[in-house]
Structure 1
Amino acid sequence: MKILKIILILVLFSNLTQLKADEFELQTKITKNLRCLICQGQSVYDSDSEFANSLKIVVNKKIDEGLSEDQIYNFLSGKYGEWILYDPKLNKNTYLLWFLPLLIFLFGGAIILKKTNKNY
């Protein structure tokens, strides 16, 4: 009977540590995708500013509350705007952000094609 108790405790302990590891990975993933509003060009994960540290705490609390990754992004986007996300979702406000590189590529390709056809 004592062995069963020890095995049960070990199984429960290993499950709890796995849950904590999963939560830490999720927190890391989310904070790497958040832009620090104080440090230009740094993610919240990389920054040590007070703002970044407070956002890390907020993300950790939201994970503990059981919110999903998308729910946390929606919460933070509602509070700070879409600019806080390094990888914003496709919506009417971000069409230009997503399609401008493609348009520039196509426009540049058309110019190059036109220039090379003139030479022949």
Structure 2
Amino acid sequence: MRILKFLIICFFLFSSSFVYSQTENKSAKITKNLRCLICQGQSVYDSDSEFANSLKILVNKKLDQGLNEKQIYDFLKDKYGEWILYDPEFNKNTYFLWLLPILIFLLGGAIIFKLSIFKKK
């Protein structure tokens, strides 16, 4: 009987630490994708400003409330604008941002192809 009680206690201890670890992993993933509005070019995860610390607390509270990653991003996007996300969604405001690298790649390929044809002649 003592062994059974010991196993039950161990199970609850390890399962609660597993849940806590999952929440910390989600929190880290979310804060790595958020831009600190105070420290230009730094993520909230890497920053130690007051704003970043308050956002870390906010993200943890939202995760404790049961919100998922997308709901947290939507909440923060509504509050601070889309600029807070390092990985913005594809929409009418950001299509140029997403398509510019493809256009540069195609233009560069066309220039290289054209130059290689002229060198052969």
Corresponding residue number in structure 2 for 1:117: 117
Deviation at 1:118, TM superposition (A): 2.5
User: What amino acid sits opposite 1:47 in the alignment?
Assistant: S
Q: How many residues are matched? A: 120
- 1:68 matched to 2:68? The reply is yes
Corresponding residue number in structure 1 for 2:22: 22
Tell me the SS of whatever aligns to 1:99.
helix
CA deviation vs aligned residue, 1:5-50 (integer Å, no higher than 9, x gap): 2221111111100000000000011111111011011000000000
Deviation at 1:114, TM superposition (A): 1.9
Corresponding residue number in structure 2 for 1:6: 6
Q: Tell me how far apart the structure 1 counterparts of residues 98 and 14 of structure 2 sit (CA, whole Å).
A: 43
Q: Tell me how far apart the structure 2 counterparts of residues 14 and 116 of structure 1 sit (CA, whole Å).
A: 63
TM-score by length of 2: 0.93
TM-score by length of 1: 0.93
Q: Tell me how far apart the structure 1 counterparts of residues 9 and 91 of structure 2 sit (CA, whole Å).
A: 48
Q: Tell me how far apart the structure 2 counterparts of residues 4 and 118 of structure 1 sit (CA, whole Å).
A: 82
Structure 2 gaps of 5+ residues are none
Corresponding residue number in structure 2 for 1:44: 44
Tell me the SS of whatever aligns to 1:9.
helix
Deviation at 1:99, TM superposition (A): 0.7
Tell me the SS of whatever aligns to 1:7.
helix
Large movers: runs of 4+ above 6 Å: none
Deviation at 1:93, TM superposition (A): 1.6
Percent of residue pairs bearing the same amino acid type: 63
